């Protein structure tokens, strides 16, 4: 609605919101250009693309998704801004526009955005599972190609958010099929994570626990995702808490758990201090328990008819029998929030009073662990040379069980290593 007389406050609020989205989009695009350029053009000598850690690969793929998805949101925002302020009718039926066009443009950005949030988590979890299982990543190249496939497929599934919009049957079949196809590269990743830790010499540190929980919670969120990809099931549960449950298993159980894993893993390198392992584990177990108490019952609530959005309060009368479960979920959510105090306490206490961290506390192989603590100006005093892949753990024939990426083997060691490898085959 355009302003009549005094300026329309709703339109002003929305216009400012669009401006915010636009500025945020510019920042995302600039950041993505930076990541893509750095990954492609500024690698250390010897650092081939297939020697990059999976975190870097995940950020590279994520950046390409950002470059393709964010401009669409910005353009849609501009169109909305024009509708609100300059009398155009891109989305207004009375002027010949189509409100569904907004949904299409939003979700063309919105679905890839979900992968923008989960892909870096996948990279971080890979970088943590390998050193704490003391085994190379199982199927490194398959992991890379799976991320590329997830990135590509992420652009042709947006319609699964719009099954209830009156979409043509043929179109919804396409979106259902393309969405289910994403289960394939996702399952490749899950099986490769399991293959990585299978038979490993597992160290249950805080970052490892969070990474393992990431994989487990991502499996639950992935499975409910397959339910939601199916159009008839989706029509039934679309407006319910089942979607809220699914979403949080992917983005809290997934992204947030991996984010915590990453913070604990790189804390010693970022700040030169060790965090308190006991408090880290307490934070992990409480988060895992309260997370599941909060979000698992939402599956049941959704199937029982609990709606996501309620405009008419009289509807609550019909939902009265769900009140106890809703109250339980609310209490669990408050618990989940309070538990994070343990994290912040541990974070700041370790920051100021933690014991000094050795340069490579996890005996990991990637380049950041070759830096001394504290890290000097410009990070690397001289540009390192890379000789190996990122996950050389338990290499046969060597004295220690890991081989840093920049460590050149002498002739005797490389001979021993190739002999041991040949004997193993």
Distance between CA atoms of residues 294 and 331, nearest Å: 8
Query: Contact 240/308 with Cβ under 8 angstroms?
Result: yes
Q: Give the three-state DSSP class for 231.
A: helix
Residues in binding contact with Cu ion, number by CB under 5 A: 1
CB closer to Cu ion, 111 vs 135: 111
Stretch of residues binding Cu ion (CB under 5 A), selected from 66-74, 105-113, 250-258, 381-389: 105-113
CB closer to Cu ion, 176 vs 212: 176
Among 62, 106, 111, 287, interactor with Cu ion by CB under 5 A: 111
Per-residue string for binding with Cu ion, 53-92, x by CB under 5 A? ----------------------------------------
Stretch of residues binding Cu ion (CB under 5 A), selected from 3-11, 110-118, 269-277, 319-327: 110-118
Q: Give the three-state DSSP class for 413.
A: helix
Burial class, 99, CB count within 10 angstroms (exposed 0-12 / middle 13-18 / buried 19+): exposed
Of 64, 68, 58, nearest in space to 32 by CA? 64
Could you tell me the smallest distance in angstroms from the CB atom of residue 107 to Cu ion?
A: 7
> Does residue 283 touch Cu ion according to CB under 5 A?
no
Could you tell me the smallest distance in angstroms from the CB atom of residue 160 to Cu ion?
A: 5
Point out which residues pair with 402 in neighbouring strands: 393
Could you tell me the smallest distance in angstroms from the CB atom of residue 229 to Cu ion?
A: 9
* Cβ-proximal residue to Cu ion, closest one: 111
> Does residue 238 touch Cu ion according to CB under 5 A?
no
Sign of the torsion angle spanned by Cα atoms 297, 299, 303, 308: positive
Of 111, 136, 119, nearest in space to 56 by CA? 119
Could you tell me the smallest distance in angstroms from the CB atom of residue 68 to Cu ion?
A: 15
CB closer to Cu ion, 64 vs 92: 64
CB closer to Cu ion, 114 vs 288: 114
Burial class, 148, CB count within 10 angstroms (exposed 0-12 / middle 13-18 / buried 19+): middle
Stretch of residues binding Cu ion (CB under 5 A), selected from 32-40, 111-119, 132-140, 199-207: 111-119
Burial class, 344, CB count within 10 angstroms (exposed 0-12 / middle 13-18 / buried 19+): exposed
Q: Which residues bind Cu ion (CB under 5 A)?
A: 111
């Amino acid at each position: 609605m355009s302003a009549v007389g005094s300026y329309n406050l709703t339109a002003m609020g929305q216009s400012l919101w669009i401006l915010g989205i636009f500025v945020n989009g510019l920042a995302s695009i600039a950041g993505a250009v930076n990541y893509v350029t750095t990954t492609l053009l500024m690698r250390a000598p010897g650092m081939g693309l297939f020697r990059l850690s999976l975190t870097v690969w995940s950020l590279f793929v994520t950046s390409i998704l950002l470059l393709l998805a964010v401009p669409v949101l910005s353009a849609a925002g501009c169109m909305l801004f024009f509708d609100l302020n300059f009398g155009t009718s891109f989305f207004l039926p009375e002027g010949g526009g189509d409100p569904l066009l907004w949904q299409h443009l939003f979700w063309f950005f919105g679905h890839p955005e979900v992968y923008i949030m989960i892909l870096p988590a996948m990279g971080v979890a890979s970088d943590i599972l390998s050193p704490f299982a003391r085994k190379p990543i199982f199927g490194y190249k398959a992991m890379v190609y799976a991320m590329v496939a997830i990135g590509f497929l992420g652009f042709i599934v947006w319609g699964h958010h719009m099954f209830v919009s009156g979409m043509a049957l043929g179109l919804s079949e396409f979106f259902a099929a393309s969405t289910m196809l994403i289960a394939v590269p996702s399952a490749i990743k899950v099986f490769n994570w399991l293959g990585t830790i299978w038979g490993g010499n597992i160290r249950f540190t805080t970052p490892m626990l969070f990474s393992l929980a990431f994989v487990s919670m991502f499996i639950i969120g992935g499975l409910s995702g397959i339910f939601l990809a199916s159009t008839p099931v989706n029509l039934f549960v679309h407006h319910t808490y089942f979607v809220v449950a699914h979403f949080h298993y992917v983005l809290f159980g997934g992204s947030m758990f991996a984010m915590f894993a990453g913070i604990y893993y790189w804390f010693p390198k970022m700040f030169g201090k060790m965090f308190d392992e006991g408090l880290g584990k307490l934070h992990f177990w409480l988060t895992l328990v309260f997370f599941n108490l909060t979000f698992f019952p939402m599956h049941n609530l959704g199937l029982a008819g609990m709606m996501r959005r309620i405009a008419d309060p009289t509807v609550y009368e019909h939902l009265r029998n769900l009140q106890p479960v809703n109250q339980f979920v609310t209490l669990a959510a408050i618990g989940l929030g309070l538990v994070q105090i343990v994290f912040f306490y541990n974070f700041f206490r370790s920051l100021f009073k933690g014991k000094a961290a050795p340069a490579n506390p996890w005996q990991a192989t990637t380049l950041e662990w070759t830096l001394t603590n504290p890290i000097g100006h410009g990070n690397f005093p001289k540009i390192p040379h890379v000789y190996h892949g990122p996950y050389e753990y338990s290499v046969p024939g060597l004295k220690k069980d890991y081989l840093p990426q920049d460590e050149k083997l002498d002739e005797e060691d490389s001979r021993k290593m190739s002999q041991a490898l040949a004997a193993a085959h």
